Amino acid sequence: MSGVLSLKRSGPVVSASEGELARLRAQFEERHFLTLRGFLDPALLEMLRAKLSATEFVRIDRDVGSELRPLDSAPYFALELLLNSRAVLELIPRLTGCAPVACFTGRIYRRAPGQSHVSRWHTDVNDDGRMVTLSINLSEEVYRGGTTLIREADTRRVVCELPNTGFGDAILFPIDPRFEHRVLDVEGDTPKTALAGWFNSKPDPRYLFTRGSAGAQEKN
């Protein structure tokens, strides 16, 4: 879907009728995901591309996997500010049927081919009230692999395969103990760079008070 929500440097733009929102919510409930084409405005994308091209990345190892994180946190915090706008926080429950959203938190990451950057099956459920996952593709070149898989936790049946290779496109999917997800290994020569984060039912004071520090993204 395109044009429902677009993030510009000046702020978010919502352009969808009540009927379109109802249709998208029904699709989300049935298919367990939404794809938002052209989610990031070209001018905003160019700013992010320039910043990410100029910074170094460092390896982060977590229980659910390993990846690279940018040393320059400005690209992430620019997106975080936009994603925490009232227009976005009020739209997400209308698109997904989730409870009212208190805040968005997340991080920018990179996974490179042949670097043992892995993603293990997990739910994203935690004490911060995570309800919906958002992933935005920040890879200017098309990468191979790196597809998000969603499966039923009890049967391990894969219910969704979500490639997201369009520069600036986004996907939404639910956080629920019934579902696990992981990101497949990146193949070929091109790394995958993305923002991944969560719309939460309650704020995270630890996160908010460390905003701007090197450790802020490491909490996620």
pLDDT value for 214: 40
Strand partners, 148: 162, 183
Q: Give dist(CA 46, CA 40) in Å, integer.
A: 10
pLDDT at 161: 96
pLDDT band at 213 (very low <50, low <70, confident <90, very high): very low
**pLDDT tier for residue 127 given thresholds of 50, 70 and 90:** confident
Instruction: Give pLDDT, residue 117.
Output: 72
Lowest mean pLDDT among 15-19, 46-50, 114-118: 114-118
Radius of gyration of the chain (CA): 16
pLDDT at res. 120: 86
State residue 65's pLDDT score: 80
Sign of CA dihedral 94, 96, 99, 101: negative
What rounded mean pLDDT belongs to the chain?
90
% of the chain residues with pLDDT over 90: 77
The crossing angle, in degrees rounded to 10, of helices 18-31 and 86-96 is 60
CA distance 216 to 220: 8
Sorted by where each begins, the domain ranges of the chain are: 5-219
Flag whether pLDDT at 63 surpasses 90: no
Give 90's pLDDT tier (boundaries 50, 70, 90): very high
Q: 5-219 has which CATH code?
A: 2.60.120.620
Q: Which residues contact 142 (CB under 8 A, 6 or more apart)?
A: 165, 190
Beta strands in 15-76 (DSSP E): 34-36, 57-62, 65-70
Report the pLDDT averaged over residues 198-212.
70
150-164 per-position pLDDT tens digit? 999 999 999 999 999
Q: Give pLDDT tens digits for 167-192.
A: 999 999 999 999 999 999 899 999 99
Q: Dump pLDDT digits (tens) for 8-18.
A: 999 999 988 88
| Predicted local distance difference test score (pLDDT) of residue 212 | 46
